[in-house]
């Protein structure tokens, strides 16, 4: 029987415990979508596996300029960004921690003011999402997207591949592809959003095509044993309506990735950051189709995490908001110490307040 405090090897990555820091958008990058010293301090504070996380998954980071959907999120597509991230991976490694970067393309969850030349965001569809994003000056409705042509998709796949290669150059232990929470890949997966009539729409194998091509390209570039994937089969986040058959869709998606021997699959159970029981879904059946490490997330308490790993239901547990408010969450889990409360006003944007100034024990 394992505990959340036991080591594990996932793919090529050795972890000191099963405690992971979930990806968390904090909107504190510098102009140029650049990682900076404040971000370095934030990750470093959480990087020692004895007190923090064994594995940090960074905040979602753009694979290309068109992939941005919110103000001041970091990028991973040019040399300056690589140099900035390198300082962060070095700081995390100096603490004995491991760090993978979450790579995303937001698709239609964006705003023309964040897009190159003020152009429309791209998606599987030309139908706008209902929802807001955060831009210069405050919240704004997301913009109407342009549906990608089929001949543009190989270029998007190539951008994921290139971004993953840059991540390795920046010293990351691997990458997590963000295919959750209503962003581009999920905009292709779900039949509630994908209204295409080409080879990327319609049947389940067509809707999972972009995911399959992205994961194959990334795994081919850096190794499946350094590649993870995040899915959220039933989340309603970012106006992602429920798929007509999520069990079949996500089951197929995971089964066809088997040849890639991915390091881990990170599943958001229920509504991201909300109710875990929003819709029925058999996560154990999904796991049965996967051979790598199984990472669970969403609203885990200490007891839930202990039970999930002790029972064998999960290999790893990712904590999100608790890691914002508790840089030493690993120690607090070990000692069963109370957790600091989260200040929700300082989640997105701003400086050190609510970012690097949460207190540790003693
Ligand atoms: C909260 C605010 C902005 C983005 C996600 C990357 O839901 C996000 C995100 C969360 O995956």
CATH of the domain at 137: 3.20.20.70
Q: Does ligand 1 have an atom closer than 6 angstroms to the CB of 22? A: no
The residue contributing the CA closest to ligand 1 atom 3 is 25
Domain that holds residue 83: 8-346
**Mind telling me the catalytic residues?**
183
Quick one: which atom of ligand 1 is closest to the CA of 238?
7
In a domain, residue 271? The reply is yes
Token reading at 47: 């990087």
The residue contributing the CA closest to ligand 1 atom 8 is 25
Q: Does ligand 1 have an atom closer than 6 angstroms to the CB of 235? A: no
Quick one: which atom of ligand 1 is closest to the CA of 273?
7
Task: State the burial class of residue 311 (Cβ atoms within 10 Å of its Cβ: 0-12, 13-18, 19+).
Answer: exposed
CA geometry: angle 48, 50, 56, nearest 5 deg: 45
Task: Tell me the C-alpha to C-alpha distance, in Å, between residue 54 and each of 93, 97, 213.
Answer: 11, 6, 29
Token reading at 18: 């099963």
Ligand 1: which of 67, 114, 181 to mutate, most ligand atoms within 8 Å of CB? 181
Q: Does ligand 1 have an atom closer than 6 angstroms to the CB of 297? A: no
**Which residues are paired to 60 by β-bridges?**
102
Quick one: which atom of ligand 1 is closest to the CA of 104?
6
**Alpha carbon of 354 to ligand 1 centroid (Å):** 17
**The pLDDT value given to residue 79:** 98
Q: Does ligand 1 have an atom closer than 6 angstroms to the CB of 73? A: no
**The pLDDT value given to residue 335:** 98
In a domain, residue 308? The reply is yes
Q: Does ligand 1 have an atom closer than 6 angstroms to the CB of 70? A: yes
From first to last of the 362 residues of the chain, give the pLDDT tens digit: 899 999 999 999 999 999 999 999 999 999 999 999 999 999 999 999 999 999 999 999 999 999 999 999 999 999 999 999 999 999 999 999 999 999 999 999 999 999 999 999 999 999 999 999 999 989 999 999 999 999 999 999 999 999 999 999 999 999 999 999 999 999 999 999 999 999 999 999 999 999 999 999 999 999 999 999 999 999 999 999 999 999 999 999 999 999 999 999 999 999 999 999 999 999 999 999 999 999 999 999 999 999 999 999 999 999 999 999 999 999 999 999 999 999 999 999 999 999 999 999 99
Quick one: which atom of ligand 1 is closest to the CA of 230?
11
Three-state secondary-structure class, residue 210: helix
In a domain, residue 359? The reply is no
**The pLDDT value given to residue 228:** 99
**Alpha carbon of 249 to ligand 1 centroid (Å):** 23
- Tell if the pTM clears 0.75, that is, is over it: yes
In a domain, residue 353? The reply is no
**The pLDDT value given to residue 173:** 99
**The pLDDT value given to residue 107:** 99
Domain count, the chain: 1
Q: Does ligand 1 have an atom closer than 6 angstroms to the CB of 25? A: yes
**The pLDDT value given to residue 1:** 84
**CB-based contact 181:272 (threshold 8 Å):** yes
**Alpha carbon of 255 to ligand 1 centroid (Å):** 26
Relative to beta strand 293-297, strand 227-231 is unpaired
CA geometry: angle 132, 138, 140, nearest 5 deg: 30
**Alpha carbon of 82 to ligand 1 centroid (Å):** 22
In a domain, residue 256? The reply is yes
Q: What is the 3-state secondary structure (H, E, C) of 220-277?
A: HHHCHHHEEEEECCCCCHHHCCCCCCHHHHHHHHHHCCHHHCCCEEEEECCCCCCCCC
In a domain, residue 358? The reply is no
In a domain, residue 357? The reply is no
Ligand 1: which of 26, 59, 60 to mutate, most ligand atoms within 8 Å of CB? 60
In a domain, residue 362? The reply is no
């Amino acid at each position: 029987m394992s505990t959340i405090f036991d080591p594990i090897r996932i793919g090529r990555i050795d972890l000191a415990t099963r405690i992971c820091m979930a990806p968390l958008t904090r909107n504190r990058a510098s102009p140029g979508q650049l990682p900076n010293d404040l971000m370095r301090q934030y990750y470093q504070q959480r990087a020692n596996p004895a007190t923090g996380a064994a594995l940090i998954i960074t905040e979602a980071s753009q694979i290309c300029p068109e992939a941005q959907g919110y103000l001041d999120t970091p990028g991973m597509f040019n040399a300056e960004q690589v140099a900035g991230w390198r300082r962060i991976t070095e700081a995390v490694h100096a603490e004995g921690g491991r760090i993978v970067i979450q790579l995303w393309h937001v698709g239609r969850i964006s705003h023309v003011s964040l897009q190159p030349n003020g152009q429309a965001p791209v998606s599987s569809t030309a139908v706008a999402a209902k929802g807001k994003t955060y831009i210069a000056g405050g919240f704004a409705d997301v913009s109407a997207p342009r549906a990608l042509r089929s001949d543009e998709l190989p270029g998007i796949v190539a951008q994921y591949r290139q971004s993953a290669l840059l991540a390795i150059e920046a010293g990351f232990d691997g990458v997590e592809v963000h295919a959750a929470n209503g962003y581009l890949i999920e905009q292709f997966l779900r039949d509630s959003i994908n209204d295409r009539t080409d080879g990327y729409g319609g049947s389940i194998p067509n809707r999972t095509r972009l995911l399959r091509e992205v994961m194959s390209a990334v795994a081919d570039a850096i190794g499946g044993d350094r590649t993870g994937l995040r899915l959220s089969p039933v989340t309603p986040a970012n106006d992602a309506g429920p798929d007509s058959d999520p069990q079949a869709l996500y089951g197929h998606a995971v089964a066809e990735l088997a040849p890639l021997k991915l390091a881990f699959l990170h599943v958001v159970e229920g509504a991201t950051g909300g109710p875990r029981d929003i819709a029925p879904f058999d996560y154990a059946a999904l796991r049965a189709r996967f051979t790598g490490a199984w990472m669970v997330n969403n609203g885990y308490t200490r007891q839930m995490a202990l039970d999930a790993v002790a029972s064998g239901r999960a290999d790893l547990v990712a904590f999100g908001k608790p890691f914002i408010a508790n840089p030493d969450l690993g120690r607090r889990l070990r000692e069963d110490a109370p957790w600091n409360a989260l200040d929700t006003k300082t989640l997105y944007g701003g400086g050190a307040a609510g970012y690097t100034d949460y207190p540790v024990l003693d």
